Amino acid sequence: MLLLGRHHTYVGSIPLSEHSCNNCCNPGQMQMSFYASYAHIVQIPLFSIGQKAIAQCKNCQEILEENYFPQDLTEIQHEISSKITVPPLHFIGIGIMVVILLCFALFY
């Protein structure tokens, strides 16, 4: 078990029906999946550290990382990423720290 680290949680997917797979050339089999990243201490989420997107072919399972997206996929990624909200659970560690600090401030 890691004390400090980084995790990703699945946020959602959209079909990329107008794109063909670069590997198997099947049209309509691509989808873009979004993941939200967070830093954690002892598996307790502290704060959000961004989002990540991948494009995957449902036919051959080929995965395209966002660093290798062509221009049109990058535009789709930016459009969808701006609409995605980070799960509030990713900030629960900060909430716990604030409560602990308030308890110390009030009772000591």
Residues forming contacts to Zn ion in the complex (CB under 5 A) are 21, 23-24, 57, 59-60, 62
- Report the alpha-carbon distance of residue 40 to residue 53 in Å, rounded: 20
Least spacing, CB of residue 28 vs Zn ion, in Å: 11
At 26, give phi and psi (nearest 5°).
Answer: -80, 125
Nearer to Zn ion among residue 13 and residue 59 (C-beta): 59
Asked if 20 and 30 count as a contact pair (C-beta separation under 8 A), the reply is: yes
Least spacing, CB of residue 61 vs Zn ion, in Å: 7
Amino acid type, 15 = P
Helices (H), 39-91: 71-81
Nearer to Zn ion among residue 16 and residue 46 (C-beta): 16
Least spacing, CB of residue 80 vs Zn ion, in Å: 21
Nearer to Zn ion among residue 17 and residue 43 (C-beta): 17
Quote the radius of gyration of the chain (alpha carbons, Å): 19
Residue with tokens 């720290």: 97
Least spacing, CB of residue 25 vs Zn ion, in Å: 7
Nearer to Zn ion among residue 53 and residue 64 (C-beta): 64
